[in-house]
Amino acid sequence: MSISSGRRALVTGTAGFIGFHLTRRLLADGWLVDGVDSLTPYYDVELKRRRLAQLGRSNAFVAHEVNICDTARLRDIVAHGRPDVIIHLAAQAGVRYSIENPTAYVESNLQGFYGVLEIVREVQPSHFLFASTSSVYGANVSRPSMEIDRTDNPLTFYAATKKAGEDLAHSYAHLWGVPTTGFRFFTVYGPWGRPDMALFRFVEAALKEKPIDVYGHGQMERDFTYIDDLIEGIVRLIPTLPAAGIAACEVDSISPAAPYRVVNIAGGRPVGLMAFIDAVAASTGKELILNMLPMQKGDMQRTFASPELLKALTGFVPNIEVPVGVSHFVEWYRSYYGI
């Protein structure tokens, strides 16, 4: 699906995994993009710089090395660019790291998000879209997870900050009337992915013939979402403006009081962790050495999204199968590291 050319977007987190892929797609579709990223050293900054170098090949992209907590500089960028759409992806990611360093999540996911909301209030873009996470479903045992399910029991500080972001965004949408859509992501993977994520670690260990740490004794399931599918879902939601109280289907999360909704972006096909690991073995051609470990704090046993709302809004459901997606990642990994 292509977007009409000539529009301008502000995307935060453009040096990140998802922000890079989204920005590349927007540029291909004819958008002008101002990209904001602070290049924090949470993981390899060189990987982030190489993503930005790819984006910098386009004259339609302008990179700004700015922390989203620096509201004054962010305000100047927005005032100069006057974006039609603001897409906020910058955040402190990582479920497990939130146990070690919760302060980073307060600064980025709460204080930084507040600053972005203030900019949204001031400039009134046609649509504000932001990243949330499947982790907000927390202790809710209802499966598949629907956007209308309760999300009152987060299991990690990361999830709690992202849930707080959803609530803050709803209040701003109500008070200031900017159409607002939140995305709930489900275990996104693919080329240019984050080194702290399972697939990256699995492939790295496999190719170096080192043991792979497998948590939960391999009994977990995840609704894995390949990056191209995720980006397609986001792109299709950009022109899909929420209007208070106007539901697209019975399971629509549309607010009765604000032009606001949250949407799962996932295929609704959970895959067992061991099947995921088998795909890594097949794609690398390596016999894997598995170090079976218990569940880590905050981990969810299973994630399983309902894609009904996404389908009703866009006609699209993610469909790239795990063996295909994993093979694409392994191909990229070998190329990137010259293996």
Encoded tokens for 39: 């290049």
Residue 146 in tokens: 């629907």
Q: From the candidates 43, 105, 158, 333, which is the catalytic residue?
A: 158
Q: Give the helix/strand (H/E) hosting 207.
A: helix 198-207
Q: Which two tokens stand for residue 134?
A: 């499947």
Give one word for 196, left, alpha or beta, with left for phi > 0 and alpha for psi -120 to 50: alpha
Sequence-ordered list of residues with C-beta below 8 angstroms from that of 237, at least 6 positions apart, any chain: 129, 181, 183, 263, 310, 313, 314
Can 158 be counted among the known catalytic residues?
Answer: yes
Strand partners, 65: 37
Q: State how far the Cα of 274 lies from the Cα of 217, in Å rounded to an integer.
A: 9
Torsion angle defined by CA atoms of residues 199, 201, 207 and 208, in that order, rounded to the nearest 10 degrees:
-170
**Nearest CA to 62 among 134, 11, 101, 112?**
11
The catalytic residue positions are: 158
